Amino acid sequence: MSTPLSIDALLIAACAWLAVGLCGLAAPRNTRFISKILFPLGALVGMLVGLTALAALGGPAQTAVLAIGLPDLPFHLRLDKLSALFALLLGFAAAGISIFAAGYFREGEGTAPGVLCLEYHAFLASMLMVLLADDAYAFMVAWETMALSSFFLVTTNHQHAEIRRAGFLYLLIAHIGAIAILLSFGVMTGGAGDYSFAGMRAQELSPFWASAAFLLALAGFGAKAGLVPLHVWLPEAHPAAPSPVSAMMSGVMLKTAIYGLLRVSFDLLHTTIWWWGVVALGVGLVTALFGVLYSTVQSDMKRLLAYSSIENIGLIAVGIGLTLIFHAYRMESLAALAMTAVLYHCLAHSAFKSLLFLCTGSVLHSTKERSLGKLGGLIHRMPWVAWLALAGVIASAGLPPLSGFVSEWLLLQSFLFSPGLPHPWLNMVVPVAAALVVLVAALAGFAMVKFYGIIFLGQMREPGLKDAHDAGNWEKAGLAWLALITLLLGILPSTVILRIDAATRQLLGTGLADKLHEQGWWMLAPISPERASYEPMIFLVTIASTLLLGRWLVRYLYHGRVRRTTAWDCGYYFQGPRAQDTAEGFSQPIRRIFEPMFRMLRHFPTARDTAPHYSVKVEDHFWYWLYLPLARLAARLSTLIATLQGGRIAVYLMYSFITLLVLLLVARP
């Protein structure tokens, strides 16, 4: 790998993205040029990034120094296996999303397309730089660029007040997170003043400071990833943003936060303390359970997916927690198993969640409707979108043979070995966590059935849906690409894990590759084939053959007697589209069972109502328990502080003067 270096190729790619974005500024209103030339170019760059990163996964770490920024403070860059893996994820997801975006962005929707193009590509380039950064300075610059560009993307339709509000909330929490990350880096330098990652690796921190750094990193990256209780921006920002942007944020940006957390906890910090894992596991579990419960009760399709992203991030955090616990007890092969689950889930989630968000974009464009209660039966009008969405839904529900199953299965496999932990208390608690993870997986299936069933199946709930049309060719291509990734991740787990293994090995010193090499590509048995194994091809073949056989049998046996009738009318003749189960109705059992978890505002019709009307609104407890009290406290403190502002310059000068005098008297040598 002497010439040409992959890291140079990735830097050129970042510059190319920026250049594509700047080209958009040249003709900000020329939608045709921007969507049909610039976005496909961006997709091409994304593809190249993905391929380069794939090649770099096998090679040694590469470094570069970029003399930009402040004098005497160059950007240190480094491409190792962890960053290569996430760059791979970024590149391939960006390729699909950009191709989709080429067909998606239309004229007259908020920000001018050229500006949008710049923001979008700056967002991509900054995410790539986050992955390549090798000092805190470069990392924070890229990180903040990422936050700012995505803020502007979220507020594309800034004429709506609630979208501006969502953008503000996002920016606020992004900043809180950034402060925590900055402090974490500060702690990790250990006072040596060397902010390069190499300098941080060389520090030997005391357990107290290492824990402080870890907790700050967990809070900071958790704010970006959407860990409870810093998740509130996610369900606001994702529905506000245009669909490709939501796809990019949910599919890729959340993963950069995971990348940061992995980088800090396994690479920059030397020591690992077992209770860090417990904290991450606990936060992850709460996040996953919270996310999945709220996603089941949503009636806006993008909010549903946003909460589902929270759930997936929670599962990833659970995996990280488990890895930390195993790693702290030097059970490296089990740690490697959990880490593989984490990385696999990152890859899988980036593909299937982007796919689903893009599908909602197509539905939104085609029907102008985002509320689940007004959709239905779209599989007849939008077969492409519906069938491709099915791939995402199956993966998201964690069903074989698609990608979500593999990672969740790996995660549960690693849970099954937790009784081997040399800590009695953990031995008892961790299996309970496993049970909760299973509950989360089941509820995720429920949410996905709701999502898919209500949008695409059944009958059309509104007459306007008859005019819905399928996605254009660009959109289909983007969706198909992501569906293909989902499928490949599902049926070739061993091949993928052999690639991921480089990153696992770099972080933990050991991997799963040795075991997998002994087995064939069709089988996945991370510990031993006797214990547990998974052959996705068998599932795929069985499912496909059952379906085909069934279809053939029906055609053959009932030849000529097949008739079509309204879907899901349960045999009732009079069942109209309005009588179908609504989004609220579908999730009513969940709302009832988990009632204390929700804050519900319900309005029931009474017997005397002339216009009976039922509504239910589910709100987040955290607003009332955490955020509103904090906001009130901040308001009260600022009124207190405002009394200092008397408006008299002499008094202001007096403040400085008295401060000076006091400092002089106090700080006497």
Give exposure, 183-218, as e/b (b: 16+ Cβ within 10 Å).
Answer: bbbebbbbeeeebbbebbeebebeeebbbbbbbbbb
Three-point CA angle 369, 483, 516, nearest 5°: 145
- The position carrying tokens 């990019």 is 248
- Backbone φ and ψ for 64, nearest 5 degrees, come out as -150, 155
Q: Name the residue type at position 646.
A: G
E-only strand ranges, 61-104: 62-66, 75-79
71 vs 596, beta carbon nearer another protein: 71
Q: Does residue 662 bind another protein (CB under 8 A)? A: no
Please name the helix (run of DSSP H) or strand (run of DSSP E) that holds residue 558, with its range, or none.
none
CA triple 464-469-472, angle to 5 deg: 150
Strands (E) located in 304-409: none
With CB under 8 A as the contact rule, the residue among 65, 66, 630, 654 that binds another protein is 654
Give the HSE-up count for residue 113: Cα atoms under 13 Å, Cβ half-sphere: 20
Instruction: Between 67 and 664, name the residue whose CB sits nearer to another protein.
Output: 664
- Interface pick for another protein out of 172, 192, 202, 661 (rule CB under 8 A): 661
| Least gap, CB of 647 to another protein (angstroms) | 3
Least gap, CB of 646 to another protein (angstroms) = 7
Shortest distance, position 650 Cβ to another protein, whole Å? 5
Tell me: does residue 664 bind another protein (CB under 8 A): yes
CB of 500 to another protein, least distance (A): 53
CA–CA gap between residue 601 and residue 615 (Å, rounded): 8
Residues 616-645 as x/- pattern, contact with another protein by CB under 8 A:
--------------------------x--x
Q: Are 620 and 230 in contact (CB under 8 A)?
A: no
Interface residue with another protein, options 559, 561, 603, 668 (CB under 8 A): 668
Alpha helices in 133-272 (DSSP H): 136-154, 161-188, 197-202, 207-225, 233-240, 243-248, 254-262
Which residue in 419, 593, 657, 662 binds another protein (CB under 8 A)? Answer: 657
Return the number of the residue (538 or 653) whose C-beta is nearest another protein. 653
CB-nearer residue toward another protein: 600 or 654: 654
Positions in 553-572 near another protein (CB under 8 A): none
> Any contact of residue 601 with another protein (CB under 8 A)?
no
Integer Cα distance of 468 and 478 in angstroms: 20
Which stretch in 444-452, 496-504, 628-636, 648-656 sits in contact with another protein by CB under 8 A? Answer: 648-656
- Sign, CA dihedral 309-315-316-321, equals positive
Beta carbon of residue 664, minimum distance to another protein (angstroms, whole number): 5
Tell me the three state secondary structure of residue 270: coil
Q: Which amino acid is present at 542?
A: T
Q: Cβ closer to another protein: 25 or 634?
A: 634
Q: Binding of another protein at residue 60 (CB under 8 A)?
A: no
Residue from 544, 579, 635, 660 touching another protein (CB under 8 A): that is: 660
Pairing mode, strands 615-619 and 599-603: antiparallel
**Residue 647 near another protein by CB under 8 A:** yes
Site residues for another protein, 105-124, by CB under 8 A, read none
Report the residue number, 368 or 636, with the smaller CB distance to another protein: 636
197 close to 135: Cβ distance less than 8 angstroms: yes
How many residues lie near another protein (CB under 8 A)? 17
- In the window 473-532, what residues touch another protein (CB under 8 A)? none
Footprint of another protein (CB under 8 A): 642, 645-650, 653-654, 656-657, 660-661, 664-665, 668-669
